[in-house]
A = this chain, B = another copy of it.
Amino acid sequence: MDRKKIDELIERYIKVSFTVTKRAEELVKCEIDPDITNEQHYLLRYIHQKERCTSTELANVFRVNKSAITAMINRLVEKGFVRRIRDEKDRRVIYLALTEKGSNLFASTEERVHKVVGSFITKFSEDEIESFIQTYEKLANVLLELEVES
Using CB atoms and an 8 Å cutoff, list the residues of chain A in contact with chain B.
1, 5-7, 9-10, 12-14, 16-27, 42, 45, 61-63, 113-114, 117-118, 120-124, 126, 128-133, 135-140, 142-144, 146
**Most chain-B CB neighbours within 10 Å: which of A10, A113, A131?**
A10
* Interchain CB contact under 8 A, A63 and B7: no
* Interchain CB contact under 8 A, A144 and B16: no
CB-CB under 8 A from A10, the residues of chain B are: 114, 117-118, 121
Given A13-B117, A63-B26, also A132-B130 (CB < 8 A): no
Copies per complex of this chain: 2
Out of B118, B130, B138, B143, name the residue touching A24 (CB < 8 Å).
B143
- Consensus secondary structure, chain A interface: helix
Given A6-B122, A7-B114, A10-B114, also A133-B16 (CB < 8 A): yes
Q: How far is the CA of A12 from the CA of B118 in the complex (A)?
A: 12
* Interchain CB contact under 8 A, A140 and B20: yes
Q: How far is the CA of A7 from the CA of B129 in the complex (A)?
A: 12
Q: How far is the CA of A143 from the CA of B14 in the complex (A)?
A: 16
Instruction: Looking at the assembled complex, report how far the CB atom of A42 sits from the nearest CB atom of chain B, in whole angstroms.
Output: 7
* Interchain CB contact under 8 A, A18 and B1: no
